[in-house]
Amino acid sequence: MRVLIVGASKGIGLETTRQALEAGHNVRALARSISAIEVSDPKLEKIAGDAIEIEDIEAATTGMDVVIQTLGVGLGELLGPISLFSKATQVLITAMNDRGVKRLITVTGFGAGDSAAQISCFQRVPFQMVFGRAYDDKTVQERLIRDSKLDWTIVRPGVLTSGPRTGRYLVLSEASRWRNGVISRADVAEFLVQQIEGTTFIGKTPVLVN
């Protein structure tokens, strides 16, 4: 498959780039700082771009089969206004619709959208204080995706670690089972790569935790 990864220079996006290449896919990796992508592979194309710039995303989505969106903001940005997730997603949906690209796999996080109701009462206040602005915008992002006509999957990991890929994690699809927990970025990437060809989670919002 021809896969665009939006937010590919570090974290889950970089790990997904590596694992998608290992799985044999052709990968177009987009970020603002592509020099950070220390991976070279004949099947990898690195493009510098900004996820909220329509021209960049129009060029990046052209010729793709699948888009994986793994955008994140730095810790220093958490206390200011955040609109990256919703803006980038609006731009992405428009570009995908215009190009007939149907499959979108997006990482948001446990606590976005209707999973917020499952945050424990002990975690609710600190979570809102630190991550509230980001997750409010992720909730808008999720709504845009749900309202789209794309074949979407919204992936909501718990607290991320930089630990190894283990292949041992829970995929919680039922709202009654959603809970917080930890999971490595490498395991999240494994799940994302499985969704490139998988159809089980289309239209679903699984929570991933160990």
Ligand X SMILES: NC(=O)c1ccc[n+]([C@@H]2O[C@H](COP(=O)([O-])OP(=O)(O)OC[C@H]3O[C@@H](n4cnc5c(N)ncnc54)[C@H](OP(=O)(O)O)[C@@H]3O)[C@@H](O)[C@H]2O)c1
Residue 8 burial (CB count, 10 A): 30
* Per-residue binding letters, 35-74, with ligand X (x by CB under 6 A): ---------------xxx-----------------xxx--
Q: Which one, 66 or 84, has the nearer CB to ligand X?
A: 84
End-to-end CA distance of the chain: 28
Q: Which one, 51 or 199, has the nearer CB to ligand X?
A: 51
- Name which of residues 129 to 158 contact ligand X (CB under 6 A): 134, 157
Q: If binding is defined by CB under 6 A, does position 4 make contact with ligand X?
A: no
Q: If binding is defined by CB under 6 A, does position 181 make contact with ligand X?
A: no
Q: If binding is defined by CB under 6 A, does position 113 make contact with ligand X?
A: no
- The Cα–Cα gap between 53 and 112 comes to 24
Residue 121 burial (CB count, 10 A): 6
Q: Closest separation between CB of residue 190 and ligand X, Å?
A: 14
Find the farthest-apart pair of alpha carbons in the chain and give their distance in angstroms, rounded. Answer: 49
95 neighbors 69 (Cβ within 8 angstroms) = no
- The Cα–Cα gap between 46 and 199 comes to 27
Contacts of residue 92, Cβ cutoff 8 Å, sequence gap at least 6: 6, 51, 57, 61, 67, 69, 104
Q: Closest separation between CB of residue 102 and ligand X, Å?
A: 22
Q: Which one, 13 or 113, has the nearer CB to ligand X?
A: 13
Mark the segment that binds ligand X (CB under 6 A) among 5-13, 16-24, 39-47, 144-152: 5-13
- Near ligand X by CB under 6 A: residue from 3, 109, 153, 193: 109
Q: If binding is defined by CB under 6 A, does position 12 make contact with ligand X?
A: yes
Mark the segment that binds ligand X (CB under 6 A) among 17-25, 31-39, 89-97, 141-149: 31-39
Helical segments of the chain, H only: 11-22, 54-61, 84-99, 121-147, 185-197
Enumerate binding residues for ligand X (CB under 6 A).
Answer: 7-13, 31-33, 50-52, 70-72, 84, 107, 109, 134, 157, 159-160, 185
